[in-house]
Amino acid sequence: MVINILAGGPEDLLPDLLSFRKSADVWIGVDRGVLTLIQNGILPKMAFGDFDSVSNEELMVIEEKVKELNRFKPEKDETDMELALNWALGQNPEKVRLFGATGGRLDHLFANIQLLIKPILTEIFVPVEVIDKKNKIYLKAPGEYSVCQNSHYKYISFVPITMEINGLTLRNFKYPLTDRTVPAGSTLCISNELIDDCGTFSFTEGILMVVRSKD
């Protein structure tokens, strides 16, 4: 099962949501993202939020369309996105995709990126991706991974989430590395590119953010 979660980020940064429709078993709306899904002809299974970003009329539309509405007070310990992600991870899905999680307020952006750490720290090991019009972002624990050419994303960047990444090795990349330590704050691994159909990256310690992007 693949779960797609749409939050209320700027709509001009969203990819074509309908292109992800066939590959998702469940759609979840978060706050204003519920209304965006409905307007795009996608009926979410569930909705999460305090809904302080919609009008009373828009909330009535949401209440009419969505059967499972989880409404919370604005004063709470988790963001609406975290509440939705917690539910999604509890379903033991194959993958979770987060949309509408970038743009707008930077504190919301950083909070959503940090949510990607949760499956690694709790050893749930469900892949979670943040996707917008130009980027796909995900985190990895130590190991070896394959990446392949993608017509949507020219560049691949690697960013330390922990204080350092140890043993980073990049093969079949324009700028290869072998057993390198990359500290937090380094821009060494920004804007790399594959030079073959597929390549690999591996590391022995740390948590690594992978950003696939295009101009």
CATH for 2-133 is 3.40.50.10240
Domain 140-213 CATH (choose: 3.40.50.10240, 3.40.50.300, 3.40.640.10, 1.20.58.710): 3.40.50.10240
Question: pLDDT digits over 130-153, tens only?
Answer: 999 999 999 999 999 999 998 789
Edge-first strand order for the sheet with 2-6 is 68-71, 46-49, 26-30, 2-6, 95-99, 128-131, 135-140, 208-213, 155-160
pLDDT > 90 fraction of the chain, expressed in percent and rounded: 72
128: pLDDT confidence band, cut at 50, 70 and 90? very high
pLDDT (0 to 100) of residue 100: 95
pTM score > 0.75 for this model?
yes
Domain with CATH 3.40.50.10240 in the chain: 2-133, 140-213
- Name every residue whose Cβ is closer than 8 Å to that of residue 168 and which is 6 or more positions away in sequence: 158, 177, 179, 180, 181, 182, 189, 201, 202, 203, 208
In tens, the pLDDT along 21-80 reads 777 789 999 998 999 999 999 999 999 988 888 888 888 888 888 888 888 877 778 899
